[in-house]
Amino acid sequence: MRAMDVMTTNVITVSPDTSVQEVAKILSERGISGVPVVDAGNRLVGIVSEGDLLHRVETGTERRPDRRTGRRRSWWLDSVGSDEELARHYVKSRGRTARDVMTSEVTYVSDATELAEIANLLETKRIKRVPVVKDGKLIGIVSRANLVRALATAGSRLSGDNATDDRTIRHNLLAELQGQEWVHTWAADIIVRDGVVHIWVSDDRPLEERQALRVAAENIPGVRGVEEHLVPAPIIPPPF
C-alpha cells in the first residue's frame, strides 16, 4: 500500500500569518496534534505541532534561567548553548504567528511512497504525521492512526492490479461523498482492501448516516463488501 491509499485528503491547514492563539484553538477543537502551514498557492512551508507551542510566555512555560544563580537550569540549555539557538527559542516562546513558531524543515513524502517507508520515517524522526506533497503542493497527510487502520484491514497482500482497483474504488467513493451535507467522515476513515470498503465511524453518529455511508459504498463499482468499524466518540469537557 502507498500513501495515496490511506492519506487524509481534506487536510486542515493554516497560513504563515495565522496567529499562534488561532493555531492552538484549531489543534484543541479539532483534536489534532499538528497542522501544516501553506502559502497562498497551497505550497507546504512548515508545520506547527503541539511541541512548538509547549513553551510559551502566555502560560508561563517559557524557558528561563535560574533567578538566583543566573545559570541555565534546563537540560535543553546545557545541550544548546549557542546564541542562535537561544534567539530561536525566544522567538518560539513569544512569536505571534505560525511563521514564527513553525518547523520549516519538514519531512514529507509523495503520494506513491510505500507505507513501509512512511512507518520508518515516523519512527526514526519521532513524528506523528507526515505531509504528502505532489508538484510542491500539499495534497494529503498520513498519520500513525492511518497506518494502524491500514494494518487493521490487512488480511492479505495485494497484487498490483488489486491495489489499483482499490485505489479507484476509494477515489470514486470519496468523490461521491464530497459535498454531501450529511457526511461527517474524513478520508482517513475510509480504507479499501481487496474490494472491501472499511469505514471507521464514531458511535455517536445517527444510524441513518451510517446507513447512508454503507449505501454510498455499495453503489461504487467493484465493491465486494462494506465493513463498519465503530469507534468511541471523543469526550468534550464541559465549559467552565
Q: In CATH terms, are 1-143 and 153-233 the same topology?
A: no
Distance CA 9, CA 92 (A): 29
* Residue 13, pLDDT above cutoff 60: yes
pTM: 0.62
pLDDT in tens, 115-165: 999 999 999 988 889 999 999 899 999 988 888 888 777 655 555 555 668
pLDDT in tens, 181-214: 888 877 778 999 889 999 998 888 889 999 999 9
CATH class of 1-143: alpha beta
Query: Is 153-233 a domain of CATH 3.40.50?
Result: no
Residues linked to residue 14 through DSSP beta bridges, in sequence order: 37
The string of DSSP letters for 149-189 reads HHHHT-SSPPPHHHHHHHHHHHHHHHHHHTT-TT----GGG
Q: Where are the domains of the chain?
A: 1-143, 153-233
* Residue 55, pLDDT above cutoff 70: yes
